[in-house]
Structure 1
Amino acid sequence: MFNSLSEKLESAFKNLKGQARITELNIANTVKDIRRALIDADVNFKIAKEFTDKVKEKALGEKVINSVSPGQLMVKIVQDELTELMGGTAADFSVTGNPAIILIAGLQGSGKTTFTGKLANYLKVQKGKSPMVVAADIYRPAAIDQLTVLGEQIGVPVYAERDNKDAVSIALNAIKEARAQNKNVVIIDTAGRLAIDEAMMTEVANIKQAVNPTEILFVVDAMTGQDAVNTAKAFNDRLDFTGVVLTKLDGDTRGGAALSIKYTVQKPIKFMSSGEKMDTLDVFYPDRMAQRILGMGDIASLVEKAQQQFDEEKAKKLEKKIRKNQFDFQDFLEQLQQIKKMGNLKDLMGMIPGVGKAIKDIDINDDAFKGIEAIIYSMTPEERANPDLIDQRRKARIAKGSGKDIQEVNAFMKQFEQMKKMMGAMNKLPMGGRMPGFRR
């Protein structure tokens, strides 16, 4: 995500390397390179110029203290301005009402229907809500089918009327049905087009007027850059939406949409989405996104994702096993599965400061753990619980069962033993017999 922009900004900061202080002369090339990086990322020239003018003004007005280099100061200033450009703080998302009504709008292909499913899953799993989704796209039967499949996948009811060609009445009927079923959130997936047209705008505006939604979210494909910003402005002029959703952030995103939308339409980005999995939806935090763009990682989001998968009782049992040097293959398998639930592996690693740049050219497949899982699944429950039982004869059987060479099984088991030794060494640290990171 934003790899090209990150690299160009990093290159711009190098102009200040070795400088003792910031002057109008030595900052000129840095500011010019930052502006060029933003324009290359498909940020509007006017926005890029205003941004760099603010950066320059702040930089020249700051005193560089002894412990901070001019380059470090410039990074901090750019980080603050990027954060402000994208909204400053995370925006509120309202789900009050009986029921709360959320209207989803956007062009066809922007990821509207997939986002509708993700939002329903987010509200159900993380917010404890009881949502219903509504298929109000009366022109594309596949949209109804897609939403039905997603609803079944996440365990959320889908309201659809295949023979009704009046989207407004479908939305109103869905709200009545939601009340009858005691559903407290209704998410309406509206029709999109390949381009803006009057019929689409009129229909979604009519739905808005009829249902009086709590939130109106405009879904935009982040890969379309400045075009996405122009589309957002056209929708906002008609709908006065409450927030923006950026989708497809796992693609080749130049960053123009994320950096320009808030400035252009004065509406916050509320969510960001990547991939097709239903749990890949995140609240948009401008400060965290600025850190990621500048290659600083995003530890806060990584910790939040870990906490969502955290089971305190299991963690206590695991801590006891580690302290007794009883960590086994079944424990290892469970930890792998928790990591996989946290999301895209490369994105997760990119949240660790300094790692994103190191792995930018490395293809990290989400199936990277499959070989290890195959080896463990080829073990008997007794072997998983007691690794010392696995002799050469058992290794040969495990290799055959997992489709791996005996050398791969040996290498994995050696790595596992090294990891156990490292855990044992950490357990001897002077922390009152506690493993770091574990709570009692």
Structure 2
Amino acid sequence: MLENLTQRLSRVVKTIRGEARLTETNTQEMLREVRLALLEADVSLPVVRDFVAKVKEKALGEEVVGSLSPGQALVGVVHQELTALMGGDLGPEASELSLAMQPPAVILMAGLQGAGKTTTTGKLARWLSAGDHVQYGRKTGKKKVAVVSADVYRPAAIEQLKTVAVQVGVEWIASDASQKPEDIARSALDYAKRHHFDVLIVDTAGRLGIDEAMMQEIKMLHSVLNPIETLFVVDAMQGQDAVNTARAFGDALPLTGVVLTKLDGDARGGAALSVRHVTGKPLKFVGVSEKLDGLEPFHAERMAQRVLGMGDIVSLVEQAQKNIDVAEAQKLAAKMKSGDKFDLNDFRDQLAQVKKMGDMGSLLEKLPAQFAQAAGQLQSGQADKQLRRTEGILNSMTPQERAKPELLKASRKRRIATGAGVPVQEVNRMLNQFEQMQGMMKQMKKGGMAKMMRAMGGMKNLAKLGGFGR
């Protein structure tokens, strides 16, 4: 996600952070690098010009020039303007869903065919029904959600939404390709009212390109449903085309927000930085994996930190708090404190906890650049695949072998490799790296922040053990 832009901007940030003083020369050089990074990321030219002009104005201001560490102050300006560019200037509540109305709250999904509306409808339904997310400083609470498809043109569109609804555990309201979209909308709204649903999400038809018939249809659906949220779903990988599409939908509909899909497949990131600027509407969600839990609320400040290579530790902690079994974590901590050795049974338990946190690629991207580089050599799909291979090796061992790795001699290793479907060398590599990890655990057990920070060098080995780097 945004790899190219992050690499370029994090290098710029590293350079200017070290500047003892700012001159016109090094400021111009920094702005040139920022401009090139944004243009290469396929950010639209008007957006780049506006961004660079604002950074330049603040860079030459007293706050930066008079700072004791002007390099760091300038990094702060870039971060501040990048946050504003992605909607941070609208305030944190602008990017959150507004469902404050007499139920059912209707959410209308709009966008071109292929943007991912149907899958995003399912992901959003799952997100709302889970009820373990924070908005306005408090948990959202579980919502009773229903979904309906008004796409009567695309073959199997209605059945696709039905399948997704079953997978995420929300109600699918039946519709038929012989019906008119407005009749489907009225019927679904009536059903949602009679059955006391909190939220009704309506998936609409798209086209391969913008045309008048599609725009008239979605305008009509909007007038029938009077949705509290009208979300424009756009494929991040469209680049400049995403900006043009956003402009057309923004002119036709009173959009309340944008959902950017397939951000995990977009190395450039131009759409993420341009769409909000063009529509004037906040980015509300981003799709970060193909899995049905691969939808994240968008936070402009956190995304700006990620783009600048600073990581997104807040989101990572939130993800951990939501998925990690606290009792299991406390049990491991107590074991370490008592002096018991960290064994392969413990490691298998930790891998299980990591798997609960979701797509590995989205986890790695939240790490600061210096840690992510060690782990991010594999793409998310490969990381998840390697994680399963490591788990397969551990599951091919007996509980006794996991408790006492010293029992693992040649014949046992061959049996384990056969059971896991991997070469013996891979078993050996995992065991060697596990021994290094045990050393790191010993350092942490002895206490002292300095020792623990030195032991952080072992994070690379932890990443390798989980299959995140080779």
Provide the TM-score with structure 1 as the length reference: 0.89
CA apart distance, 1:383? 4.1
Distance change >3 Å, CA 183–CA 32, structure 1 → 2: same
Is residue 2:360 matched to residue 1:345? yes
- Whichever residue aligns with residue 213 of structure 1, its letter is P
Moved more, 255-264 or 191-200: 255-264
Is residue 2:220 matched to residue 1:206? yes
Is residue 2:96 matched to residue 1:92? yes
Q: Which residue of 1 aligns with 2:385?
A: 367
Q: Which residue of 1 aligns with 2:230?
A: 216
CA apart distance, 1:217? 0.5
- Whichever residue aligns with residue 118 of structure 2, its letter is T
Alignment deviations for residues 195-231 of structure 1 (CA, whole Å, 9 cap, x no partner)? 1111111111111111111111100111112221221
CA apart distance, 1:244? 0.3
Moved more, 99-108 or 346-355: 346-355
Paired residue secondary structure (1:250) = helix
CA apart distance, 1:326? 5.4
Moved more, 289-298 or 416-425: 416-425
Is residue 2:264 matched to residue 1:250? yes
Q: Which residue of 1 aligns with 2:31?
A: 31
CA apart distance, 1:100? 1.2
Distance change >3 Å, CA 280–CA 385, structure 1 → 2: same
Q: 1:428 aligns with which of 443, 446, 470?
A: 446
Query: Matches of 2:364 and 2:15 in 1, distance apart?
Result: 28
Q: 1:119 aligns with which of 116, 119, 124?
A: 124
Alignment deviations for residues 156-212 of structure 1 (CA, whole Å, 9 cap, x no partner)? 121122254211221221222223433211111111001111111111111111111
CA contact under 8 A between 2:231 and 2:257: conserved in structure 1? yes
Paired residue secondary structure (1:270) = strand
Paired residue secondary structure (1:134) = strand
Q: Which residue of 2 aligns with 1:68?
A: 69
CA contact under 8 A between 1:229 and 1:260: conserved in structure 2? yes
- Whichever residue aligns with residue 252 of structure 1, its letter is D
Paired residue secondary structure (2:60) = helix
CA apart distance, 1:415? 3.3
| Structure 1 unaligned spans of 5+ | none
Query: Matches of 1:223 and 1:75 in 2, distance apart?
Result: 28
| Structure 2 unaligned spans of 5+ | 133-139, 450-454, 456-470
Query: Matches of 2:442 and 2:14 in 1, distance apart?
Result: 42
- Whichever residue aligns with residue 344 of structure 2, its letter is F
CA contact under 8 A between 2:324 and 2:356: conserved in structure 1? no
- Whichever residue aligns with residue 83 of structure 1, its letter is T
Written as runs of structure 1 = structure 2, the 5 A alignment for 1:37-436 is: 37-61=37-61, 62-64=63-65, 68-70=69-71, 72-88=72-88, 89-90=91-92, 91-96=95-100, 97-125=102-130, 126=132, 127=140, 128-324=142-338, 325=340, 327-353=342-368, 354-357=370-373, 362-363=378-379, 365=382, 366-384=384-402, 387=405, 390=408, 393-429=411-447
CA apart distance, 1:93? 0.9
Query: Matches of 1:227 and 1:370 in 2, distance apart?
Result: 37
Higher helix share: 2
CA contact under 8 A between 1:295 and 1:356: conserved in structure 2? no
- Whichever residue aligns with residue 351 of structure 1, its letter is K
Aligned residues between the structures: 431
Alignment deviations for residues 334-374 of structure 1 (CA, whole Å, 9 cap, x no partner)? 32132233233233223221234556665461211122111
- Whichever residue aligns with residue 34 of structure 1, its letter is V
Moved more, 342-351 or 304-313: 342-351
- Whichever residue aligns with residue 370 of structure 1, its letter is R
Q: Which residue of 1 aligns with 2:466?
A: none
Query: Matches of 1:104 and 1:361 in 2, distance apart?
Result: 35
Distance change >3 Å, CA 23–CA 140, structure 1 → 2: same
Query: Matches of 1:194 and 1:101 in 2, distance apart?
Result: 25
CA contact under 8 A between 2:117 and 2:233: conserved in structure 1? yes
Same amino acid, percent of matched pairs: 49
Moved more, 317-326 or 233-242: 317-326
Moved more, 415-424 or 111-120: 415-424
Paired residue secondary structure (1:369) = helix
Distance change >3 Å, CA 406–CA 135, structure 1 → 2: same
CA contact under 8 A between 1:164 and 1:170: conserved in structure 2? no
Distance change >3 Å, CA 18–CA 305, structure 1 → 2: closer
Query: Matches of 1:170 and 1:206 in 2, distance apart?
Result: 12
Query: Matches of 1:86 and 1:401 in 2, distance apart?
Result: 49
Paired residue secondary structure (1:199) = helix
Query: Matches of 1:312 and 1:14 in 2, distance apart?
Result: 37
- Whichever residue aligns with residue 366 of structure 2, its letter is M
Moved more, 262-271 or 7-16: 7-16
CA apart distance, 1:20? 4.2
- Whichever residue aligns with residue 426 of structure 2, its letter is E
Alignment deviations for residues 262-299 of structure 1 (CA, whole Å, 9 cap, x no partner)? 22221100001122101111111111111111111111
- Whichever residue aligns with residue 51 of structure 2, its letter is F
